[in-house]
Chains A and B, each alone.
Chain A
């Protein structure tokens, strides 16, 4: 496999295609493990939206930071996290990114600037603003990216964070992944005005981009990141995208009808993977697919082999200073 881009190398169309495939394959693998009961609690699959994570993270430098969402596997992988350790986290194993303490909705790798997926809609926005402020205070050249969905556009704290970032010209990129639905609620019935209009109202340059095209997302993100890093203040991307699966794996059992099969099929026709593959020389996509399949097979093995945590340590890491809380039995 010499000559192929590495797992986290997003510098070329081939590398970006490989990451799209890695995220897709990872989610398919995770879906299987949810179905077999090995992953408890389910996941929020990112399938369909891969071009957003890959395009944005391709525009970032290693020192840049991200905050993510409940639908975070794609962001975490595209920022460079080890798929083996992410999968182990989903399985609640000690070899997981968070030692099995976070699971799907809290996966983090601080060594890579991944400040965590987050279970509360919109919560990552102002945390990213704080990370950007912190970097400026420390005199470091780092941009912070906040990923969030269209649902978060109605969270007051996110709108407050737009104001703080704009007032203080902080190096933040707000990335709205508009997949059309806040769980089951269509964005068209929930968001007055427009996403970009909301950012623009705070004086934040806001761009709408085809979120099914990793190259288009990368180009828009690169421009915003460069401007932010140069002191130009925050940027905002609205990436129009779609999740091919349900909001959460539980939805597979519930047979909800809030999207028509035609609508889902139309968006599947815009699948970001074939579009990215079309940019590659003949045969390369297949070789990259094989490389990803191999990597994911190894990840699966690693994750399933990783140890389950011992119950005695259930409250390990609750306090950074090692304070031990009283047990529920009073002991």
Chain B
């Protein structure tokens, strides 16, 4: 079976809705299935469960929280990643906090799905953000699948999870198709995936950048053995798997479509520096600090992590030879 990323999301929603009558979907233009993942859901499940909402993101997000607090299992589709800024209050200050603040009386099984996060090529400043690090920072379960199979499996687990989960489907991964010969099934949150084993460098790649990392790994294969590590879930992060990978390689490059300051790449590098095995200083490839993606295509691309930067970073960490402590002191 040939499976596209968007079709995988559509299958995951369809299967979740069919299995559990508490599952329902809120969002804008979802009846028409404009973004893709909700295509045909209205016909099959009806307007009682597939709720086309007015353009009131804060109210329908709060409403989904109210529904989640009282036995429903809502999914919200957000058309634009920047809409998450508009509902940060609802997600972080309400949904995320209810369980602790009520002493465990309540939980909020809410899934937020963002099909087309990050740059979509030419959508300019207010439609091109990739704010997954903000949610990981806040402690919300945060998922960024790279492949159709993972998109299906992680969305199913997100919907089944008792806590709120934000699922980013990067625009850069939406064109990915897979020939699937296996049964699609839920994939547990918090488990990383090694896409390619390697001995010299671990490249941690987030979301669509997994595919760039695989291309660079292939290209550099004659000179360096690159392990491509896809965290899949950014929070909770699979530190155990990363520790095992760095035990093998001892070198780390992170490629992350966040702005540089306080992005998830910084957390991965910091944790590796504090707790994990490194034999060379780690590197990260990110958007610049405070990036606002400009409209002009060349400018939009220039601010996103790219393969050239990744290639250079891999070569740079390979060039580094552990120096003796005497040389270190001499500097």
Contact = CB atoms under 8 A, between A and B. Distances in A.
A and B form one complex: yes
Interface of A: 65, 67, 96-102, 106, 108-111, 115-116, 118, 120, 123, 125-135, 137-138, 144, 156-157, 160-161, 163-164, 167, 315-321, 323, 325, 330
B81 to A, nearest CB: 20
A101 B102 contact: yes
Contacts of B99: 317-320
B66 A323 contact: no
Interface string B157-168: 000011100000
A170 to B, nearest CB: 9
Interface string B33-54: 0000000000000001100011
A132 B63 CA distance: 9
Interface residues on B, range: 35 or more
A293 to B, nearest CB: 29
A102 B98 CA distance: 9
Nearest to B63: A130
Given A130-B69, A138-B71, A97 B103 contact: yes
10 contacts: A67-B66, A98-B101, A101-B102, A102-B102, A110-B105, A110-B106, A126-B58, A317-B103, A320-B107, A320-B109
Interface of B: 24, 48-49, 53-54, 56, 58-72, 89-90, 93-94, 98-107, 109, 139, 161-163, 190, 236, 274-275
A23 to B, nearest CB: 22
Given A108-B105, A126-B59, A323-B163, 19 more contacts: A98-B101, A99-B104, A101-B102, A102-B101, A123-B89, A123-B94, A126-B62, A127-B63, A129-B63, A131-B67, A133-B66, A133-B67, A134-B66, A134-B71, A134-B72, A164-B56, A319-B163, A320-B99, A325-B139
Contacts of A96: 103
Contacts of A109: 105
Contacts of A323: 163, 190, 236
Nearest to A323: B236
Contacts, number: 154
Contacts of B275: 330
Contact of B62 (A100, A130, A144, A317): A130
Contacts of A318: 99-100, 139
A127 B106 contact: no
Contacts of B161: 321
A324 to B, nearest CB: 9
Given A101-B100, A131-B70, A164 B106 contact: no
A137 B72 contact: yes
Contacts of A98: 101-103, 105
A127 B69 CA distance: 9
A317 B63 contact: no
A17 to B, nearest CB: 30
Contacts of B67: 130-131, 133-134, 137
A320 B72 contact: no
Contacts of A100: 103
B59 A99 contact: no
Contacts of B190: 323
Contact of B101 (A67, A106, A131): A106
Given A120-B89, A138-B71, A164-B63, A127 B103 contact: no
Contacts of B90: 123, 157
A106 B102 contact: yes
Contacts of B94: 118, 120, 123, 127
Contacts of A102: 101-103
